[in-house]
Amino acid sequence: MTVKRIRGVLLELVSILLFLLFLAPFFIVVVNSSKMNGDIIRDPISFPLDWSLLWKHIQAVIHNPNMNYWKSFLDSAIITVLSLTAIVLCSSMAAWVLVRNHKKWSTVIFMIFVAAMVIPFQVVMLPLLSWFRQVSNFSGISFLSSYTGIVFAYIGFGSSMTIFILHGFIKNIPYELEEAALIDGSSPEGVFFRIILPLLKPVQMTVLILNGIWIWNDFLLPSLMLGLNGKIKTLPLAVTSFVGSYVKQWDLILTSTLLAMLPVVILFLFAQKYIIKGMVEGAIK
The proportion of the chain whose per-residue pLDDT surpasses 90, expressed as a percent, equals 17
Q: Is residue 168 pLDDT above 70, yes or no?
A: yes
pLDDT of res. 280? 58
Check residue 279 and give its pLDDT.
58
User: Which residues contact residue 212 at a Cβ distance below 8 angstroms, ignoring those fewer than 6 apart?
Assistant: 80, 84, 264, 267
Find the mean pLDDT for residues 130-136.
85
Q: Which amino acid is at 17?
A: L
pTM of the model: 0.85
Q: Which run of H or E residues covers position 124?
A: helix 121-139
Among 178-182, 202-206, 211-215, 264-268, name the most confident range: 211-215
75 has pLDDT over 70? yes
Rounded Cα distance between 113 and 194, Å, is 26
Half-sphere exposure of 156 (CA within 13 A, CB side): 13
Residue type, 87: I
Indicate if the pLDDT at residue 284 is higher than 50.
no
**What is the residue-wise DSSP string for 235-266?**
HHHHGGGGB-SS-B-HHHHHHHHHHHHHHHHH
What is the distance in angstroms between the CA of the first residue and the CA of the last residue of the chain? 39
Q: What is the pLDDT of residue 245?
A: 64
How high is the pLDDT of residue 277?
63
Decide if pLDDT at 129 tops 60: yes
For the chain, the average pLDDT equals 85
Max distance between CA atoms of the chain, in angstroms, equals: 74
pLDDT band at 285, cuts 50/70/90?
very low
Our measurement of the distance from residue 236's CA atom to the centroid of its chain's CA atoms, rounded to an integer in Å, reads 13
Express each pLDDT in 231-251 by its tens digit. Answer: 888 999 988 888 776 667 888
Question: Tell me, what's the pLDDT at 5?
Answer: 80
Chain CA centroid to CA 101, Å: 30
Sign of CA dihedral 194, 199, 200, 202: positive
Confidence tier at 91 by pLDDT (50, 70, 90): very high
Tell me the per-residue pLDDT of 246-270, one tens digit each, with 9 for 90 and over.
667 888 888 888 888 888 888 777 7
Contacts of 218 (CB under 8 A, 6+ apart): 234, 236
Q: Which residues contact 70 (CB under 8 A, 6 or more apart)?
A: 62
What average pLDDT score do residues 40-57 get?
A: 83
- Please say whether the beta carbons of 50 and 244 come within 8 A: no
* Average pLDDT rounded to a whole number, residues 153-166: 91
- Confirm if 120 and 160 have CB atoms less than 8 A apart: no
Homologous superfamily (CATH) of 65-284 is: MetI-like (1.10.3720.10)
pLDDT of 127 > 70? The answer is yes
pLDDT value at 283 more than 50? no
